Structure 1
Amino acid sequence: MRRLVAALAVLAFFTSFSRAAPNIGSATAIEKDVRGESDGRTAKIGVGDAVYADEVLSTGAESRGRFVFDDRTDLQLAPSSRVKLDKFVYSNDKTAVFSATKGALRFISAPAVHKDYEVRTPNATIGVRGTSFAVRVRLGRTDAVLYDGVIEVCPIGGGACRTLDTPCTFVTVANGGATAPAALGSGDWSFDDSCKVPGRRAGETPPLAPTTPPPATPASTASPIDWSGPSFGFDAGTGVGGGEFADPVPMNGAAFLGGLRFGYSFALTKEIIAGFETDASYRSDLGGGSNGHAQASSARGGYFGTARIRLGYAFDRLLVYGTGGLAYGHIIAPRSFSGYNVIAAPYTYGTNRENPFLPGWTVGAGAQFAITDNVSVRAEYLYAKLQHYLPLYDTNTSPLPYATCTVSALHSIRVGVNYGFSLKDLLSIATPR
């Protein structure tokens, strides 16, 4: 029983503590990041969320908030602002105090409510008597602009108070006191443009009013990228053997490919792009294979390259193309082999004596995407087949080298980065200023 009583007492304590900061209004419009801080805790505020007495409201860069309190007082915060709801009492004194430490706010007091409102800044106190006005705290000064009603602005450090009772007038408070009231000019700060637009009543434009988006620009099928001109880049990827050796034994292992490419493109139309390019890559050792009764070791590494034409179609920044032309590279033949029925019926093993450089042909396709006007990324597939060749092998069955038929073929998939110079770039470089 005692434990139950103690638990109820603790619950009552925290309940009374949570009610020490009453709900005094809610958020009616929020743009981006607006937060509330109370009792050392900070939380993001959304439309419809309650705000409390003694809470600190803050807006991030490019963020704004609008709050309506229970007595219909309207408070609007500009980006990068911070305001504390210091005092909001509905008892006999009917007092509301707001402390603005940075940024800008617009205040519209509750209609037909007799209440003392006060806005405090680091160097000024603004007394409000049924009105609409704006305040900005910036670089050690306070700017106060009146839209409607009456406000009294008093410097905290001393000096005469200033009364604003004419719409679209303002004062500035700095270390030297408050300036004399003056009419708002075109170069003076205001929370909105209501004092600067003819025929508009001061203070009537809400800062969170929706704006009309500009009309959409019709989509164009033409490519905005100039694909014409020279380019260079590098590629990396993998090559998989597609050839065979002797019996035949498949040469279907994989190898690394990496190298450089150079090219030149022509825009036949805005969408149809033609050109030529050449590339040279290093190929690592390519794994061998087996046919069940004989096996081949890996082929020596070497070089692989092409010289091709290509023809493509540009979809905005994406270029898809087909390509074909000449290929060249080192033979894809095993360093050694062993097994039955490779070059003779008995068990035979042999060692390669040469690694010739062979011509061939290639065909493939790819896609290229322009990240900027000059930089693009690409992915490409090529099939290449080199000239048939009979490399010499020293074997255990013959005192003389044995020539063995070899088909060198390669499937390659590579990705790369290109840098292109458009014709406009070349002309700008070639033309003296």
Structure 2
Amino acid sequence: MTTKTLFSAIALTVSTLTSAMAADVTMPYKAAPAAAAFSWTGCYVGGNVGGGRGVNEQQPIVGQDFTANHNSGWLAGVQGGCDYQVGSLVVGVEGQFDWADMKDTSTTLIPGGAIGFLLTTQLDRVATATGRIGYAFDRVLFYAKGGAAFAHFNHQMTQTDFAALSVDFTGSRDVTGFVVGAGLEYALLPNLSLKAEYNYFDFGTNGYTLNCSGNPGCAGIPFFPASGPAEHADRHARRELAIQHGWRAARRPILIGVPKASAARRVRRAAANSRRGFDAVVPAPP
């Protein structure tokens, strides 16, 4: 064997061994980045605006029936609460307060006479304390809610002959009842969401007092006492849009990695590298 042939054989052996060792080295890999899954867990505050309609039915007074009020108007206020998410299930509590101007005036005529009544009912504020439960599709949450409701009503009954006589009887009352509703909430950002909601309120039947004190026209008014009890049944529905800022806990991201090469793949890679080693070495002529 000549010197050139010996050097070629040594070069071939070194090339083959180097390729084989390279095949046994574990190839580094990098996990593919994954975005953190959105979580509804956390607390929030926000504001809301909306509109509503209601039915207020006045119970008969001294045998006189009255035309019902059909209130309508606006509501606006603030809300705050906390949610907790387990899987796709979201449960939470919320408190809400709204200023309102929902009112209506109805006219009732006394049969056979020239006297009538103008009955005005106004809802000027309402508050709720509710729980809610929902199902989340990532940033979209469908939910139902229910709980206690509190409201303040102003009442005015005007006895008039629609000409010269006009006497006002006024009163107000704080009432309690219940509320049920449903809504859809969407998280625009991790800490900012927008929701649309529908609520139904029922405040039952409540007594209140209408007063005519201090008015000289109160004396001798027929069909209605200067000060007396009355009963009112109140039912309202509210639709609203709300935007709220929250402090929510981020869920741990799910990391999706590229698996390491199997032993069989390493063997195939080593064989391929060995073939490339033979092709790279060209023996010199003797």
Change (3 A) 1:364 1:352: farther
Please tell me whether residue 306 in structure 1 is matched to residue 124 in structure 2: no
Which range moved further: 401-410 or 390-399?
390-399
Q: Is the 8 A contact 2:71 2:122 kept in 1?
A: no
Give the secondary structure class of the aligned counterpart of 2:207: coil
Picking from 260, 263, 273, the partner of 2:81 is: 263
Give the superposed CA RMSD.
3.1
Distance in structure 1 (CA, Å) of the matches to 2:159 and 2:38: 55
Give aligned pairs, total.
Answer: 197
Q: Deviations over 1:57-94 (max 9, x none)?
A: xxxxxxxxxxxxxxxxxxxxxxxxxxxxxxxxxxxxxx
Q: Deviations over 1:370-422 (max 9, x none)?
A: 11111111111111122422222246224541212101221111101011111
Please tell me whether residue 242 in structure 1 is matched to residue 52 in structure 2: no
Q: Deviations over 1:122-165 (max 9, x none)?
A: xxxxxxxxxxxxxxxxxxxxxxxxxxxxxxxxxxxxxxxxxxxx
Q: Is the 8 A contact 1:257 1:284 kept in 2?
A: yes
Counterpart of 2:179?
362
Please tell me whether residue 380 in structure 1 is matched to residue 193 in structure 2: no
Counterpart of 1:336?
157
Change (3 A) 1:325 1:374: same
Give the superposition deviation at 1:315. 1.9
Residue 231 of structure 2 aligns to which amino acid in structure 1?
C
**Deviation above 6 Å: which 4+ runs of structure 1?**
291-294
Counterpart of 1:178?
none
Q: Deviations over 1:25-53 (max 9, x none)?
A: xxxxxxxxxxxxxxxxxxxxxxxxxxxxx
Q: Deviations over 1:286-327 (max 9, x none)?
A: 123357766644324521010000011112321111110000
TM-score by length of 1: 0.41
Change (3 A) 1:354 1:373: same
Give the secondary structure class of the aligned counterpart of 1:416: strand
Counterpart of 1:404?
230
Distance in structure 2 (CA, Å) of the matches to 1:241 and 1:338: 24
Q: Is the 8 A contact 2:148 2:177 kept in 1?
A: yes
Change (3 A) 1:349 1:380: farther
Give the secondary structure class of the aligned counterpart of 1:281: strand
Please tell me whether residue 227 in structure 1 is matched to residue 25 in structure 2: no
Distance in structure 1 (CA, Å) of the matches to 2:91 and 2:117: 44
Gaps of 5+ in 1: 1-222, 341-347, 426-433
Distance in structure 2 (CA, Å) of the matches to 1:315 and 1:290: 50
Change (3 A) 1:420 1:252: same
Q: Which has the higher contact order (CA 8 A, sep 6+)?
A: 2
Distance in structure 2 (CA, Å) of the matches to 1:407 and 1:350: 24
Q: Is the 8 A contact 1:296 1:334 kept in 2?
A: no
Please tell me whether residue 283 in structure 1 is matched to residue 100 in structure 2: yes
Give the superposition deviation at 1:268. 2.5
Give the secondary structure class of the aligned counterpart of 1:314: strand
Name the structure with the higher helix share. 2
Q: Is the 8 A contact 1:391 1:404 kept in 2?
A: yes
Give the secondary structure class of the aligned counterpart of 1:421: strand
Change (3 A) 1:381 1:292: farther
Change (3 A) 1:411 1:290: farther
TM-score by length of 2: 0.61
Give the secondary structure class of the aligned counterpart of 2:106: coil
Counterpart of 2:72?
254
Give the superposition deviation at 1:225. 2.1
Change (3 A) 1:356 1:319: same
Please tell me whether residue 322 in structure 1 is matched to residue 144 in structure 2: yes
Q: Is the 8 A contact 1:245 1:407 kept in 2?
A: yes
Q: Is the 8 A contact 1:317 1:370 kept in 2?
A: yes
Counterpart of 2:239?
413
Q: Is the 8 A contact 2:155 2:170 kept in 1?
A: no
Distance in structure 1 (CA, Å) of the matches to 2:204 and 2:109: 27
Gaps of 5+ in 2: 1-35, 60-64, 111-115, 213-217, 252-286
Q: Is the 8 A contact 1:224 1:317 kept in 2?
A: no
Distance in structure 2 (CA, Å) of the matches to 1:268 and 1:349: 62
Equivalent positions of 1:46-57 (< 5 A) are: none
Equivalent positions of 1:126-165 (< 5 A) are: none
Distance in structure 1 (CA, Å) of the matches to 2:170 and 2:192: 45
Residue 336 of structure 1 aligns to which amino acid in structure 2?
M
